[in-house]
Amino acid sequence: MDPAFLRRFLLPVPFVTPPRSVRRQMAERHLSDAGLSPDLLDELAADPKMSPAQLGAARRLLDLRASSPAEQTVREGVAALRGLLHGAPAPRRRHPATTFDVAYLNVSGGLSPSALVQALSREGRGSLCFYGPPGTGKTAFAEVLADALDLDLELVAQRASDLLSPYVGETEQNLARLFRECDPKHSLLVLDEVDSFLSDRRQAQRLWERTQVNELLQQIETWPGLFIAATNLMSGIDAAALRRFDFKIGFRAMTAAQRVALFAREALGDVQAPVPPVLVRHLERMEGLTPGDYATVCRQQRLLSEPLSPEQFVKRLAVEWQLKSDSIQAVA
């Protein structure tokens, strides 16, 4: 609209996406008497683009097709309407192969995960840098934080490729739009691969390499909500950027005790199950294993459609561990 029209409104009132807990209540109000499973209601509430009007349309569709299976009718109706409105029948979601548990995080920074949740919940704002090797749980822990704080996880620009542009000045505009379009009251903003934007300006050879760092630093400083930057490459980040983060939390590979406990849960089906001593010795030797390595073996097991014996599970972990060890030696 033309600014001449906009300034004539006495009280502009924005209607923003409500938090997940409120969307869950809306789903119950529209669909609770249809016999839908709680999982489906949770799934609908987890979609930040799900509006009351779409839930109302699903309700009317149920009434028109009373003889059809309720869950199938709702799923198909919501998917069709979402595809029409947003170009995709469902939001893109991560499908982890294992259940995330903070017990298998090995973090540095002098702050426990529970203390971090309490601090962020109390303040309502803050900036954090999660750093560490791939598979150590950075993104998964951000999702846990979002759930604990009743926020939508805006993994907006999930990858640097969604924001980086070959045209001068456009990356800065994309960064500004990223922060502008995210609701700080209801969203936890996570920017992955942040080393692509915050590289050391002393090494910059072109002006735009500095301006995109400056843009992101200014956005972080003025952001009134919760922001998490995640990176696998902490060493190349600009020194001035590090002081913008309230907490720098390192995610490390699991300890020996964590490796054995997670093996018991995934390979033996019970975290309390006794692990044979010979397998314990193998696991203790494999320093550098992460929860992501266990998830990889679990995906292999699922694709093979046959359970792995504990010995086979350890052998496949050893393969993942050896590949990482060879990669580190090659870089060195």
Tens of pLDDT along 200-218? 655 555 555 677 778 888 8
Give whichever of 45-49, 137-141, 239-243, 289-293 has the largest mean pLDDT: 289-293
Contact 30, 55 (CB under 8 A): yes
pLDDT in tens, 69-98: 999 999 999 999 999 988 888 877 777 788
Buried b (16+ CB within 10 A) or exposed e, 307-330: ebebebbbebbbebbeebeeeeee
Structure confidence at residue 150 as a pLDDT band (50, 70, 90): confident
pLDDT at 242: 84
DSSP 91-147: ------SS---GGG-EE-SS--HHHHHHHHHHHS-EEEEEE-STTSSHHHHHHHHHH
Stretch 84-113: mean pLDDT: 83
The residue range of the domain holding 190 is 102-252
| End-of-domain residue from the set 252, 270, 304 | 252
In a domain, 167, yes or no: yes
Beta carbons of 138 and 229 less than 8 angstroms apart = no
Domain end position, chosen among 224, 252, 280: 252
Question: In DSSP terms, which residues pair with 190 in a beta bridge?
Answer: 228
**Which band of pLDDT confidence, cut at 50, 70 and 90, is reported for residue 158?**
very low
Q: Are 106 and 249 contacting, i.e. CB atoms less than 8 angstroms apart?
A: no
Number of domains in the chain: 3
Alpha carbon of 192 to those of 159, 186, 294, 317: distances in Å? 6, 19, 22, 26
CATH number at residue 112: 3.40.50.300
Q: Rounded to whole angstroms, how far apart are CA atoms 125 and 120?
A: 6
Q: Which of the two residues, 276 and 234, has the higher pLDDT score? A: 276
Q: Rounded to two decimals, what is the model's pTM?
A: 0.76
Band of residue 330 on the pLDDT scale cut at 50, 70, 90:
very low
* Tokens 């060890």, located at residue: 325
